[in-house]
Structure formats: C-alpha cells, structure tokens
Chain A
Amino acid sequence: GQNIDQPTEMTATEGAIVQINCTYQTSGFNGLFWYQQHAGEAPTFLSYNVLDGLEEKGRFSSFLSRSKGYSYLLLKELQMKDSASYLCAVMDSNYQLIWGAGTKLIIKP
C-alpha cells in the first residue's frame, strides 16, 4: 500500500529553527509537496520537490532524497503565525496526491 509518515506534533520556540520530517512509500513518484494548514482553514502551497536536494524559499526550505523516500521541511526564524499543521503529499505514478496526516507545529514564546 501507499504510505506517508510524519510526526503527529512538534513544539518549538519563537525565533528558533524546526525540521519536520516526512517519509513515504508510494507506487511511483512524480514529486513531493508541502502544504501549510492553519486550524479550520484550507491548505496553502509551500513547496514542491521532484529532484534530490534542497529548495530554499525565504524562511522555508524543503529537502528531498528519492533514494531514501525522505523529505524534510525546515522553518527558520520561527514566528507565532507559523503555528499550523504541515502536510506532506506525494504525487504517485497516476498523478494522484497521497497525503500525510500532517504535523501540528506549536510555537511557544
């Protein structure tokens, strides 16, 4: 079967750095997406990786290793507004998105 694993919850301090990991087993791979979802709101797109390596976008970076079936989302200079769930999703060989359950990130002052 297809599977996406992420930690359920993480806590970090305002101003710090946090890394949210995602491992996946899917039938085929056509890219990995990270979305941010605030409570009660819709997911919003953060990043897309299809090749190995690090993609940097402001305070957020996303890394991919296809051979290891592994990605992480790195958030720097954490702000209180970064408190949200972060969803990892993999596009499989049928171009369907397989979603993880999300990692709830709690930021403390």
Chain B
Amino acid sequence: DAMVIQNPRYQVTQFGKPVTLSCSQTLNHNVMYWYQQKSSQAPKLLFHYYDKDFNNEADTPDNFQSRRPNTSFCFLDIRSPGLGDAAMYLCATSRDRGSSNEQFFGPGTRLTVL
C-alpha cells in the first residue's frame, strides 16, 4: 500500500544532543511537510517542500533544519533540542499544493527530551 512512513516512532534524546527524524513516502507526491504538534494543540507547520523548493515558516526556530535529498525522503534535524521541543513530529505529503489536495500523514515520531 502507498503510504507515509516515519522513523523512529519514538525518540528519546538528551538536552542539546542533535537528533534526526526521517520520513519516506511511496505516494510519489510533490509536496512534503513537517509539523510539530504538542498535546491538545493544532499542528504547527515547520517547513514544506514543493518538489525541491524549500519553504521555511517565518516563526520556525533556527534550531530546526530540513533536507529533502530526493522525492521519497525528507529529514528533520533538530540541532540542539530543548525541553520545549518535546512533541509529536508529523510528516505529511500532498500530491500538489493547490486546493482540494488533502494531506496524508505518517504515524508521527514522539520526541522526548531529557
């Protein structure tokens, strides 16, 4: 089945220790998104890629970086995680960027910062 896969599902890191989260998709979608979601809050868009075109949200901290080496893969790097970065990180894809393009989500990576 075509899908969005995230690894790992659970990640524990120490304060200040870099961490990389990965996302892959078999849907061949043009757009990939990274969201941060904290408990009982709306998902917060961090970045999105339209093909290779990188789009950074204005309020995404510099501590967060992203890479999309090819259509199928996208990575989220957190350079120096703080306690406030503990959250669920959701990767999503959409076929295109226009209206009616629903987003398909991966299962998420729950990040714990000790």
A interface list, Cβ under 8 A from B: 4, 8, 30-31, 33, 40-45, 48, 50, 87, 91, 95-97, 99-102, 104
Given A41-B107, A42-B105, A31 and B99 contact (CB-CB distance below 8 Å): yes
B102 touching A4, Cβ below 8 Å: no
B100 touching A50, Cβ below 8 Å: yes
CB-contact partner of B97 in A40, A44, A95, under 8 A: A95
Least CB distance, B7 to chain A, in whole angstroms: 14
A42 touching B107, Cβ below 8 Å: yes
CB-contact partner of B40 in A40, A42, A101, under 8 A: A101
Given A42-B90, A100-B42, A101-B42, A95 and B106 contact (CB-CB distance below 8 Å): no
Q: Would you mind naming 22 contact pairs between A and B with Cβ atoms under 8 Å apart? A: A30-B98, A31-B100, A33-B102, A40-B108, A40-B110, A41-B107, A42-B105, A42-B107, A43-B43, A43-B90, A45-B102, A45-B104, A48-B102, A50-B100, A95-B98, A97-B45, A97-B103, A99-B42, A99-B43, A100-B42, A101-B41, A102-B40
CB-contact partner of A48 in B41, B100, B106, under 8 A: B100
Closest to B42 in A: A99
B99 touching A4, Cβ below 8 Å: no
Closest to A30 in B: B99
A4 touching B42, Cβ below 8 Å: yes
The B54-112 residues at the A interface (CB cut-off 8 A) are: 88, 90, 97-100, 102-108, 110
Least CB distance, A74 to chain B, in whole angstroms: 19
Least CB distance, A86 to chain B, in whole angstroms: 12
B40 touching A95, Cβ below 8 Å: no
B102 touching A42, Cβ below 8 Å: no
17 other A-B residue contacts (CB within 8 Å) besides A41-B107, A43-B43: A33-B102, A40-B108, A42-B90, A42-B105, A42-B106, A42-B107, A42-B108, A44-B105, A45-B103, A48-B100, A87-B43, A96-B45, A99-B42, A99-B44, A101-B41, A102-B40, A104-B40
